[in-house]
Structure 1
Amino acid sequence: MATMVAGSNAPLTAENPGLTGVMVAMGWQLVPSNGPQSELTSMAILCGDDGRAISPEHLVFFNQLTTAGGGVRFEAGSAAGQHDTEQVDVEFGLIPAEVSKIAFLAYVDPEVRGPGTFGAVRGSYIRLARPDGFELLRFDVPAVNGERIKAMMFGELYRHRDDWKFRALGQGYENGLAGVARDFGLDL
């Protein structure tokens, strides 16, 4: 297993011949609060060459659990022995050729418990594993001034020629879901 730092890239299919897909897991802990507790929601956005979502149907989240064709889908539960908060399965062979990257994010959902921030979030991470559960890499998102952050891009899978790679990011958005929607060309 490789541990990554923000901005680093790791080859997946080039160094793992026969790898047909990955399980992408995200996790975090929330510090208990006596007041309203922030509720995080994760999503995956499939993007074209311009870095923007191809369409609203190329978004995977709690209300749209899979893409057409099933190449990216949320899974219930987590891999054996792990305590991940969210799990997304990606099958490379089912990803349309027009998809050049898949971004993995989490945002504070204001509709669940009201406005909130990442201020109570600790120990957030993203990890990638083979379908058999063997962990390939992990990125522990660096601690940030979470009191102002309302969304976080953990990382992205992207095509590099005929292969898939992963980039660790940890990019926070102070403007939350609105900033994500603007950057990815979505109407959220």
Structure 2
Amino acid sequence: MTISLVKGQKIDLTKGNAGLSKITVGLGWDPVQKRSFFGSKKVDIDCDASALLLDENGKLTGKNLVCFHNLKSPDGSVVHSGDNRTGEGDGDDEQINIDLARVPANIQRILVVVNIYDCVNRKQDFGMIASAYIRVLNQASQQELVRFNLTDNYSGKTALIVGEVYRHSGEWKFNAIGEGSFAAHIDLLAREYQ
């Protein structure tokens, strides 16, 4: 059974799901149809999902940024599915697979973010995106455990801090964050955590 979250809500992932060790974090979005006198037209927007593996101080250390240009964490516990440049089609546009049992002990939080590639040159922001969501699935069964639909107005924002998977008292939990940012590139957003 899927649990739908609202912004700021936290939920346990592993305590209530005995044996859960591998999850998939799926992210999806659709470009807004641009309407004109001649009809509607799809705007091509390249959103990129990324994961920042943070230590107990909320800091990104080493090469613990998993994104379109670095598809795997150094230890292999977090793996990105690859870049989807259009947001076309149903279902997840990008996925991040996490092997919770292999995440190094010094990593306390896995922050999941989405940014718009080349947003400054293309003059694009998250006001041009519709139906954005994040969900967490049990990798073994493909059962959706958690879903968070992003419904706030993110006009002007070029990155979203969507949610985080984090450790608490020996268990893994999920936090629905849904905060916008003006970071124009994933590398700029990552610097905020160094």
TM-score by length of 1: 0.87
1:139 alignment partner, one of 140, 148, 154: 148
Quote the residue 2:159 is aligned against.
Answer: 151
Structure 2 distance, partners of 1:71, 1:182, is 22
Q: 1:183 to 1:76 in 2, by over 3 A?
A: closer
| Residues 7/179 of structure 1: CA separation in 2 closer, same or farther (3 Å cut) | farther
Aligned residues, how many? 180
User: What is the alpha-carbon distance in structure 2 between the residues aligned to residue 24 and residue 35 of structure 1?
Assistant: 26
CA distance in structure 2 between the aligned counterparts of 1:65 and 1:136, rounded to whole angstroms:
24
2:20 counterpart residue number: 19
Q: Supply the distance in 2 between the matched residues of 1:179 and 1:65 (Cα, whole angstroms).
A: 18
- Residue of 92, 104, 114 corresponding to 1:96: 104
> Considering only aligned residues, what root-mean-square deviation do their CA atoms show, in Å?
2.3
Once the two structures are TM-superposed, the CA of residue 161 in structure 1 deviates from its matched residue by 1.6
Q: Cα deviations across residues 60-79 of structure 1 (Å, max 9, x unaligned)?
A: 111111112210001259xx
Alignment partner, residue 46 of structure 1? 53
Structure 1 or 2, whichever has the larger Rg, is: 2
Contact 2:71–2:82 (CA<8 Å) still a contact in 1?
Answer: no
**1:121 pairs with 2:125:** no
- Distance, in Å, in 2 between the alignment partners of 1:133 and 1:36 is 31
- Output the amino acid matched with 2:81: E
Offset from partner CA, 1:31-79 (integer Å, 9 cap, x none)? 1446964321111100001112122x101111111112210001259xx
CA distance in 1, matches of 2:93, 2:121: 18
Change (3 A) 1:167 1:124: same
Q: Percent identity?
A: 28
| Gap runs ≥5 in structure 2 | 35-40, 84-89
Give 1:24-43 correspondences, 5 Å limit.
24-33=25-34, 37-43=44-50
- Provide, for residues 4-51 of structure 1, a one-character-per-residue CA deviation record: whole Å limited to 9, x for no partner: 000000001111111012110000010144696432111110000111
Query: How far, CA to CA, are the matches of 1:112 and 1:35 in structure 2?
Result: 19
1:164 aligns with 2:172: yes
User: What amino acid does structure 2 have at the position aligned with 1:11?
Assistant: D
Query: Partner of 1:73 in structure 2?
Result: 79
User: How far off is 1:113 after superposition?
Assistant: 6.3
Which one-letter code corresponds to 1:159 in the other structure? R
Q: CA deviation at 1:114?
A: 2.9
